[in-house]
Chain A
Amino acid sequence: MLHTVNKSPFSSDALNECARFASTGSDILLIEDGVYAAKAGSAYEPALKDVVKKCAVYALEADLKARGVTALVPGVKTVAYAGFVELVEKSKVHTWL
């Protein structure tokens, strides 16, 4: 299953809840303000490192670039829009609003 999160972890519990309810081995894609979770050196980094141990975590390149997020938490993979489409095609999707 693919889970998408579009909220910053500093303003919303969406990613925390997503991580709790995502099955081990599922995919999590960070988009829009969700990509702030992937920023290396933030207070959320330890939490995201735990998420990376449980799930495959992706961040959308265009949203990272737009927000100036360059250094990423280790283990987070970047995807372009084509990769986003591949993830969506692969499985069911749940969006954490």
Chain B
Amino acid sequence: MSDEMDNGGGENRKKIAFVMRHAPHGSIYSYEGLETVLIVAAYEQDLSLIFAGDGVFALVAAQDTSAVGIKGFIKTYRVLDGYDVNKIYVDRESMEKRGLKPEDFIIPVEVKEAEEIAAIMEEQHATIPY
């Protein structure tokens, strides 16, 4: 990994997109995806986050897990900007089907059409599913 990702960005900087497709509390995907984003962000790579399908629920600001006895992680999304992770894309169809609007989300997002997301995925060195 060290050959591919020098810790400091530079010419070995890779474009990596995380494709987040799972709701936040029903499985571990969403939480582990965010953890992995933060780990990879420390290597100063060119990261994009794509939220599609039930993945869009992960960004809903109104989440409060106190009554179900699990630790929520919605506030963690706010630290992404501090790691210069600000390419946050949401699939319009997934968002609208679920009755959500950009104002419902914890962080600013760019709403994209499916074709735009397809193009973003194609331009990456790697895409990582969560």
Contacts and interface: CB of A to CB of B under 8 A. Distances in A.
B114 interface: yes
A97 B121 contact: no
27 contacts: A1-B121, A1-B122, A13-B53, A13-B54, A17-B52, A17-B53, A20-B93, A20-B118, A21-B52, A21-B91, A21-B118, A21-B121, A22-B118, A23-B119, A23-B121, A23-B122, A92-B125, A92-B127, A94-B19, A94-B127, A94-B129, A95-B129, A96-B21, A96-B129, A97-B21, A97-B22, A97-B129
A17 B52 CA distance: 8
Contacts of A20: 91, 93, 114, 118
Interface in B103-130: 114, 117-119, 121-122, 124-127, 129-130
Q: Which of A13, A14, A21, A92 has the most chain B CB within a 10 Å cutoff?
A: A21
Interface string B34-76: 0000000000000000001110000000000000000000000
B83 interface: no
A34 to B, nearest CB: 14
A21 B55 CA distance: 14
Interface residues of A, number: 13
Contacts of B122: 1, 23
Given A1-B121, A22-B118, A92 B126 contact: yes
B29 interface: yes
Interface string A19-41: 01111000000000000000000
A66 B124 CA distance: 35
A17 to B, nearest CB: 5
Contacts of A95: 129
A13 B19 CA distance: 14
